[in-house]
Structure 1
């Protein structure tokens, strides 16, 4: 993946995202759509996984067949909203190892504060996909990638549902080696640091909290 930003314009992704944006979409429907869309995005973000061949026997004959190479990839959820993307991706990649980065945004400074960090072993040898539905200011995403690199991660991709131009620019400045895959690049951030037109707070909409 060479491009810093990939917008997945698949019709199913775009259609599901439109329903998720609508304010009248229920919590349960939002959660189900996020699970579905995460699998479609996972398909894109894993497009260039390293491959090998292994000898297998079909009902007809033996053959050398393609298979994933190297250690199992790591999915790292940026809590709490990242878990919405994580669930669907694990259905597609059940063998993946899972990590968590706990960050919350200080509403005064808009800066991220860490409260939890746990990632799989051999993080330096795994492809690491960090997931968070919203790339807004980019502050928490940059902080999470900082922590993953400090833990030894070398091959990192970032997957989100929505991105703002400000967040993409911030990530490119801090981590130009981390490709971003998203379903949409929205217009801008508002004065509170929310993505516009966006879909509101992904965590609140997913978990039914306000």
Structure 2
């Protein structure tokens, strides 16, 4: 599964070091030290670094990032939409009932629906799906094992929110997005992520996913 470019055959030890720094060290440093207001700047920098690493690896079909709409699993999109609305509603009903669907009254929802898919879901998907499964393929097990690791890494990347609710939701979401990427291509993973994120904010789950609400437990 290793790509055929020179950079892809570097010693596995250094791939492991790079993998650990990118997917474990960086999220840990962000969670421990970075002010929440710098989140999108950090995400932009990671996206650029990720694309450079993907380019250095070689053997990646860049056109795959915009192809695959004909394979879109629309039933999965519909099912995830319903499950996301239900989960967000139930969680907020028992935790922050005053914030349930508050975004519908704030006037901010149209902006979120426009910019979240581009500024948040897209860079996250680039880092955690194409880069993860292409550059580090030689380090991963086959099949469900790779998806499980991807979901765990994706969940860990959200450590900055210091929330068990966020950890569980992002693990489940990471599993769904990774599975969609491997089965249907990048557009499917991106759309599923964008729809799930937008619907979570619609229900009011910004109470958990908005960096301004983050309180470090130390």
Q: TM-score, normalised by structure 2?
A: 0.28
Decide which structure has greater helix share: 2
